[in-house]
Amino acid sequence: MAKNKTQFLCNHCGSVHVKWMGKCPDCGTWDSLEEYKTPTFDERAARTSKGLRATGDLAQGATAVAIGQIEEADTPRTKCGIAEFDRILGGGMVPGSAILVGGEPGIGKSTLLLQVAEALARAKGPVVKGKQATRPVLYVTSEESAAQTALRAARLGAKSANLLVLAETNVERIINQIHQHEPAAVVIDSIQMIYKPDRPAAPGSVTQLRDCCMDLVYLAKSAGVSVFFVGHVTKAGTLAGPKIIEHIVDTVVYFEGDRYHSHRIVRCVKNRFGSTHEVGLFEMTGSGLVEVSDPGKLFVEQYGPGGPPSGSVITAAMQGSRVLLVEVQALTASSVIGAAKRKVSGASSDRVAMIIAVLEKRAELRLAADDVFVNIAGGVKVAEPAIDLAIALAIASAHLNRPIAAGTLVVGELGLGGEVRSVPQLEHRLREGARLGCGVGVVPRMGGNVPKLGGMAVHEVRTLGQAMATL
Ligand SMILES: Nc1ncnc2c1ncn2[C@@H]1O[C@H](COP(=O)(O)OP(=O)(O)O)[C@@H](O)[C@H]1O
Ligand SMILES: [Mg+2]
């Protein structure tokens, strides 16, 4: 029989240690460690099978039910009316859900959430007993004063009487206010600045972040209040990032791109109530974030009569259920053999390294003595391999200094053998390209299923060499 293992439990912060110490290393409290014996497997087994059944505790818990007999909870959604935001959440806000909105400082989190709060405050709530129930929306600002928020609200035109602002950092007082006003949704801007007074740790620390978030999520679930958390992500990662609360919340969305572009891409990376990878597109203007419902040629530069320079290729990337036409730019410059730089922005640098190797080996392009720079224009990030061929042709075009004609759409995954592989949703991508006036398409083989696209000549290619010969 296994022996009981002795451990020491801090009665203040709940951390477990292997030896007794005068001071808890986690929370710093003196004389708080108590001896604690972990039950052995046999003890645990005895407790669950005989002990609990005898006392009747088991009868009070949840009982297992056949999956077919469980009523599906139809998730009624509240649309906030900002279509791009509703799209990211999978068709609107689910009551009682917890949503984390992350992003770098200054990217527009407060702006977006104040707009969402205003829109929700104006939105009509569900009809309860024949009456339109309108519940307020509570915006908790823990970083800025109420006056600063009011200033921003004036700029954004948010003046609904249903939108309440609370400048508070103590999570218990925040919860008290939530109980008092019974809002439909609460915005916590930001989670890194609020604290639980009975924890000695500083705001923003792992303990505070997790405990405050847990308390608010528990409240969200039990009272049916949706909670939006704002979390800062810093490039250096010195602050306890919002990563540690990702598993506690239902939905996680991140701002992408940088604050130097006027366009903001908001991407859903986790969603318990809908599809992930959905993106929302916004433009930052003086009166707040304006939605961009038809991105069209937003990320594609319109070159003059001279056509695009060498190294510029247009491709179609899937962003959630939407096709985005993006421009891949490449530049090669002579360098020293062995010290050649490869810099990539917006795409995977591992993928680009592989593409360079394929170009060297299969297309006999000598790139070893060249610096190679690859950029996806407009601050968009594309992770899918469907843009491989476009990257390869952009590098080849830059290296050979031969521009690719305007209006050429290139889509395809590149294999190590130099073969061009098929990609998902190819027809969808081609249709979007044709709609936006691309005259030529270079794509993987479609096996006789080439769609009829008015005005677009589709070239199917089997290898990288064929693709280069076509252009
Ligand atoms: N008057 C204005 N006109 C245009 N853009 C503005 C104006 N004021 C602020 N902004 C934009 O809003 C951004 C700040 O947004 P904010 O929501 O405070 O960011 P976060 O909460 O993510 O730190 C600024 O970086 C700027 O781009
Ligand atoms: Mg802010």
Q: Residue 386: inside a domain, yes or no?
A: yes
Token pair, residue 37, equals: 């014996």
Number of independent structural domains in the chain: 3
Which pLDDT score, from 0 to 100, does residue 116 have?
94
* Ligand nearest to the CA of residue 143, numbered in listed order: 2
**Ligand sitting nearest the alpha carbon of 106:** 1
Domain range enclosing 259: 83-291
Contact present, 17 and 10 (Cβ < 8 Å):
yes
Are 142 and 168 in contact, with CB atoms under 8 Å apart? yes
Classify residue 69: in a domain, yes or no.
no
Per the domain annotation, does 300 fall within a domain? no
Residue 464, domain CATH: 3.30.230.10
- In terms of domains, do 116 and 235 share one? yes
Dihedral of CA 201/203/204/210: which sign?
A: positive
DSSP-derived secondary structure letter, 6: E
Query: Which atom from ligand 1 is nearest to the alpha carbon of 152?
Result: 8
Residue 307 placed within a domain? no
Give this prediction's pTM. Answer: 0.76
What does the pLDDT profile of the chain (471 residues) look like in tens digits? 455 677 887 777 777 888 888 888 887 878 888 887 766 666 655 555 444 444 445 455 677 888 888 776 666 788 888 999 998 998 888 888 999 999 888 889 999 999 999 999 987 665 555 555 678 999 999 999 999 999 999 999 998 899 999 999 999 999 999 999 999 999 999 898 999 998 888 887 888 888 999 999 999 988 889 999 999 886 654 444 667 888 899 999 988 866 777 888 898 888 988 877 788 889 888 889 998 877 777 777 778 777 889 999 999 998 877 888 999 999 999 888 778 899 999 999 999 999 999 999 999 999 988 999 999 988 788 989 999 999 999 999 999 999 999 889 999 999 999 999 999 999 989 998 988 888 899 999 988 777 777 788 999 999 999 999 988
Q: Are both 240 and 269 inside the same structural domain?
A: yes
Of 313, 308, 301, give the one whose Cα is nearest residue 393: 313
Query: Which among 116, 282, 284 is the best mutation to test ligand 1's pocket, defined by most ligand atoms within 8 Å of the CB?
Result: 284
Q: What is the pLDDT of residue 54?
A: 44
What spacing in Å lies between the alpha carbon of 462 and ligand 1's midpoint?
47
Q: Which of 190, 29, 160, 184 is nearest to 95 (CA)?
A: 184
Tell me, yes or no, whether 283 and 149 share the same domain: yes
CA of 234 to the centre of ligand 2 (A): 13
Q: Which residues line ligand 1 (CB under 6 A)?
A: 103, 105-111, 259, 284, 286
pLDDT of residue 461: 94
257 and 402 share a domain?
no
Q: How far is the CA of 322 from the centre of ligand 1 (A)?
A: 27
- Specify whether 150 is located in the same domain as 230: yes
Q: Which residues contact 48 (CB under 8 A, 6 or more apart)?
A: none
Q: Could you tell me if 154 and 53 lie in one domain? A: no
Pair 269, 321 in one domain: no
- How, if at all, do strands 420-421 and 440-444 pair? unpaired
Tell me, rounded to whole angstroms, the distance of Cα 261 from its chain centroid.
Answer: 18
In a domain, 13, yes or no: yes
Same domain, 50 and 101: no
Residues 155 and 49 in one domain: no
Beta-carbon count within 10 A of 452 CB = 7
User: Could you give the 3-state DSSP secondary structure of residue 460?
Assistant: strand
Same domain, 14 and 90: no
Q: Is residue 305 part of a domain?
A: no
287 and 328 share one domain: no
pLDDT at 44: 59
Of the residues 291, 320, 346, the one at which a domain ends: 291
Strands (E), 363-469: 370-376, 408-410, 413-414, 420-421, 440-444, 457-461
From the alpha carbon of 104, which atom of ligand 1 is closest? 22
Ligand in closest contact with the CA of 266: 1
In a domain, 297, yes or no: no
Paired sense of beta strands 457-461 and 370-376, if any:
unpaired
Asked if 87 and 195 sit in the same domain, the reply is yes
> Beta strand 370-376 with 322-334: parallel, antiparallel or unpaired?
antiparallel
CATH code of the domain in which 263 resides = 3.40.50.300
Ligand 1 atom closest to Cα of residue 103: 22
Is residue 74 in a domain? no
pLDDT of residue 4: 62
Residue ranges with strand state E in 110-262 = 127-128, 131-132, 137-141, 163-167, 185-189, 226-232, 251-256
Q: What single-letter amino acid sits at 184?
A: A
User: What DSSP designation does 191 have?
Assistant: G
